[in-house]
Amino acid sequence: MTVHTPSYYNRFRCLAGECPHTCCRGWEVPIDRETAQYYKTLEGTMGEQVRGVLAVDGEGETAFLLRGDACPFLTGEKLCELQIRLGERGIGEICRSHPRFFYDYGSLRETGLCGSCPEVARLILEGDMVLEEGQDDRAGEEDPSLLEVLLAARETAMDILETPEATLGQRLQAMLLFANEVQVLLDNGQSADVPRLCGIYEEEFPLLDPAALPDRREALEGCLEALEGLEILEPQWKELLKRGRVFLRSGEMAENPCIDWGRRAEIYFLYRHWLRGVWDGDVLSWAEFGVLGVAVSALLGPLLEEGFPEVFRLFCLETEHNQENLNALQDKLWREIRLAEMLALADL
């Protein structure tokens, strides 16, 4: 099996007690079956404590009952009591792997790190990603029919974002135009023509007349409303979205995002989501999803002391850690929000 890994992957180190936003708070802590079986064998007070906070739902899935909004084994120093006392075997699979993700596409596995983690967000935004390729001994399944085509198209989309002397907005818009043309070919059953399209975009860089686009403020406000309509995981996010709408109406819009931050954030989104299109044929929505994340981070960044990086982290948390939210956004981008609105949003 071929394995893709971002160049910053192995530099990640959990901040543990120094983390400003512990991942042991705010959601249920699911326990895999192997770990749940191990907990049944624990003896003494530790075993009693662990089994006393285990709950099993109607589908047989096991999770810890939260203490307030936190894992019951989160210490006052923001460390894991289970890991301290039992070692790595004492924590469930999801806790061992977080903030890593793994997606399998036939003979290809893509690994990565979630932007919702403060340390990961820093790694994503501080340097350019190089995609490293390796092999492991696992046998993959048959490749999806669109895999090779969409891998090549994603590489072109990422290359567009690296275009020298273009503004961040021009790069994002050109990437969206390319993604739209890929989508048209996929919708028409012409995936074999995607490599030719990639060749065209490697030679040409399209530019848009901003005057031909819809009002950017209206597009931004509509997107903020869409995000407010999703399930909110962090109260800070809901308040920030409301402040963003007030900020928009004030006429200030003091956006000045670092071009490298915007470019690197979009590359992260493309890497993580673009290949989902091998299953449902949708790549445009995921290109737009990334532009939404970049535009919202740029808009709301001035409202927080930590700026763009913290809004980027929150956007990842609120969307990528809730599958219903992710599905709802994809559906809205596919059915309701026009490409022209997303092109206006990208005009940074």
Of residues 48 and 329, more confidence is placed in: 329
pLDDT classification of 264: cutoffs 50, 70, 90: very high
**pLDDT, tens digit, for every residue of 133-188?**
999 888 878 999 999 999 999 999 999 999 999 999 999 999 999 999 999 999 99
Cβ partners under 8 Å of residue 296, min gap 6:
220, 223, 224, 227, 244, 311, 315
**pLDDT, tens digit, for every residue of 7-58?**
999 999 988 888 888 888 877 788 888 998 888 888 888 888 888 888 887 7
**pLDDT, tens digit, for every residue of 244-257?**
998 888 876 666 66
**pLDDT, tens digit, for every residue of 197-206?**
999 999 999 9
The counts of H helices and E strands in the chain are 16, 7
Average pLDDT over every residue of 282-300:
97
Average pLDDT over every residue of 277-284:
97
Q: What is the pTM of this model?
A: 0.92
Copy the structure tokens of residue 294.
Answer: 């970049």
Q: What are the residue ranges spanned by the domains of the chain?
A: 24-97, 147-345
Cβ partners under 8 Å of residue 236, min gap 6:
314
Average pLDDT over every residue of 119-146:
92
Note the pLDDT of residue 57.
76
278-283: long-range contacts, CB 8 A cutoff, minimum separation 24: 278/105, 278/144, 278/145, 278/146, 278/147, 278/150, 279/144, 281/146, 281/186, 281/187, 282/183, 282/330, 282/334, 283/150, 283/153, 283/179, 283/182, 283/183, 283/186
Q: What residues form DSSP beta bridges with 54?
A: 64
Q: Average pLDDT over the chain, rounded to whole? A: 92
pLDDT classification of 301: cutoffs 50, 70, 90: very high
Query: Which of 228, 232, 217, 210 minimizes the C-alpha distance to 295?
Result: 217
Note the pLDDT of residue 76.
86
pLDDT classification of 221: cutoffs 50, 70, 90: very high
Whole-number Å distance between alpha carbons of 345 and 323: 24
Note the pLDDT of residue 68.
85
Whole-number Å distance between alpha carbons of 319 and 124: 17
